[in-house]
Amino acid sequence: MARLFGTDGVRGLANGPVITAELALSVSVAAARVLGRAGAQSHRPKAVVGRDPRASGEFLSAAVIAGLASAGVDVYDAGVLPTPAVAYLTADSGADFGVMLSASHNPMPDNGIKFFAQGGHKLPDEVEDRIEAAMGEDWVRPTGPDVGRVVPMVDGHTRYLAHLLRVLPNRLDGLTVVVDGAHGAASAVSPEAFRLAGAEVVEIGASPDGLNINDGYGSTHLGPLRRAVVEAGADLGIAHDGDADRCLAVDATGADVDGDQIMAILALALKERGGLAADTLVTTVMSNLGLLQAMGREGVAVVQTAVGDRYVLETMRERGHSLGGEQSGHVIFLDHGTTGDGVLTGLMLAARMAETGRSLADLAAVMTRLPQVLVNVPGVDTARADTDPELLAAVSAEQESLAESGRVLLRRSGTEPLVRVMVEAQTAERAQGVAERLAEVVRDRLGR
């Protein structure tokens, strides 16, 4: 039987085979018994529940809340808020755990359920496995005064806003920012945060109706943001995904600024203020070689992890680092939060512009993105990708030919039955050629 939890909670088609009201009820009861158990001896367990504005989130959050309350957990219903807001409020309210209903950047028909432990931290695999195991166990239902109570967290929005503004190093007066909320969870809070910080704000993708989340707007559809920035003569544009745990940007000319460039800018800002722990940035192996080269020139060490913001976060916590993230725009400020926070990232990026008086294009020029080509090879025996001698020899030979001016990464997908071949080189043509040659070797050596 396949594991219920994926790399970021349980996710799939809402009201489809997996993400049903019945599943939401069952998994929330199990989570209440596993995550609420630690505090149950000294107090009544409490949980914060939030969601993005998907239509399916209405019935799924109702099922989650019902399951938690039926298991004796008092529930703070935070309503529609970004994922990082729910994580923050879980910690700030002293709750035993939190629940977020969202499918992030996925299209509207999907949805998902993810849990935060006490303090707002993501759950390790072993705790998720305990929750899944508990779903099939008998349990004693509380009755009478022992059932949980449900109250709206009416101040969740303002508490999260206060947190964002409190950690901002300086105001944004004089900047004009276009904010694209992806018709998602940050549609209200992100523009408000920028305005309260002093910026002039133009809003797009900020009219969620439950059906339009991520539909042509947000971090996976930057076209509208590029046009809006140029038309408004804005200094920058900020794009979130559906649950606002990521942020991508656009400079005043309409050029994209990806997560690697954002991390480079913010790492140097923190280093200058003495806030970059051990002068180290944590990224995944998919970050562009240009980021590694730039950080090397600037005296910033780079630690790389497996792909996934959870692995970035685990490494940051284990080693005490303060800044990390992914090329996709998940950026974690561990001194201020426990997960990627797209609103905070955008604010910090704009704050660096206001502080220095430099344009985003000028700041982003600290690194040069090498052309990157990714080829997916399906239908092969992925188990042998790390051990086949001829394939490993081919990878080594191509890497040697690129020397320090390029990079080869071959890895098994964690979510699909395929092998990914990623190549960076000085030119797109060179990268494409190397990637295609290696993809052919993968097919020849690992073909079923």
Q: Give me the pLDDT at residue 404, please.
A: 84
Q: Give me the pLDDT at residue 414, please.
A: 64
Q: Give me the pLDDT at residue 281, please.
A: 98
- The tens place of each residue's pLDDT in the chain, 448 residues long, gives 568 998 788 999 999 999 999 999 999 999 999 998 755 566 899 999 999 999 999 999 999 999 999 999 999 999 999 999 999 999 999 999 999 999 999 999 999 999 999 999 999 889 999 999 999 899 999 999 999 999 999 999 999 999 999 999 999 999 999 999 999 999 999 999 999 999 999 999 999 999 999 999 999 999 999 999 999 999 999 999 999 999 999 999 999 999 999 999 999 999 999 999 999 999 999 999 999 999 999 999 999 998 888 899 999 999 999 999 999 999 999 999 999 999 999 999 999 999 999 999 999 999 999 999 999 999 998 889 989 999 999 999 999 999 888 999 998 876 678 899 999 999 999 999 999 999 999 999 998 6
Q: pLDDT tens, 342-389?
A: 999 999 999 999 999 999 999 999 999 999 999 999 999 888 998 999
Q: Give me the pLDDT at residue 417, please.
A: 80
In the numeric block, the tokens 């105001």 are attached to 171
CA nearest neighbour of 63 among 96, 19, 107, 33: 19
**Distance (Å, rounded) from C-alpha 78 to C-alpha 87?**
11
| 3-class DSSP assignment, residue 114 | strand
Q: First CA to last CA across the chain, in angstroms? A: 23
**Distance (Å, rounded) from C-alpha 360 to C-alpha 317?**
30
**Distance (Å, rounded) from C-alpha 372 to C-alpha 389?**
25
Residue type, 357: G
Half-sphere exposure of 260 (CA within 13 A, CB side): 22
**Distance (Å, rounded) from C-alpha 64 to C-alpha 188?**
24
350 exposure class (CB count in 10 Å sphere: 0-12, 13-18, 19+): buried
Half-sphere exposure of 52 (CA within 13 A, CB side): 38
Q: 248: alpha, beta or left, given left = phi > 0 and alpha = psi -120 to 50?
A: beta
104 counts as catalytic: yes
Answer whether 28's CB lies under 8 Å from 63's CB: yes
Strand order in the sheet with 372-378: 372-378, 418-424, 407-412
Sorted by where each starts, the structural domains of the chain and their CATH numbers stand as 10-153 (3.40.120.10), 159-364 (3.40.120.10), 372-446 (3.30.310.50)
The two three-digit tokens of residue 120, written as one number: 């707002």
**Distance (Å, rounded) from C-alpha 86 to C-alpha 75?**
13
Model's pTM, two decimal places?
0.92
Catalytic residue chosen out of the listed positions 61, 102, 104, 187: 104
Q: Would strands 74-80 and 46-51 be described as parallel, antiparallel, or unpaired?
A: parallel
Residue type, 359: S
CA nearest neighbour of 430 among 399, 392, 385, 390: 399
Q: Give me the pLDDT at residue 309, please.
A: 86
Q: Give me the pLDDT at residue 75, please.
A: 98
69 exposure class (CB count in 10 Å sphere: 0-12, 13-18, 19+): buried
**Distance (Å, rounded) from C-alpha 294 to C-alpha 220?**
26
The mean pLDDT of the chain is 95
306 exposure class (CB count in 10 Å sphere: 0-12, 13-18, 19+): middle
Q: Give me the pLDDT at residue 41, please.
A: 60
In the numeric block, the tokens 């309503």 are attached to 79
Query: Beta partners for 324?
Result: 282, 332
Q: Give me the pLDDT at residue 38, please.
A: 54
- φ/ψ of 101, rounded to 5, equals -105, 110
**Distance (Å, rounded) from C-alpha 402 to C-alpha 237?**
35
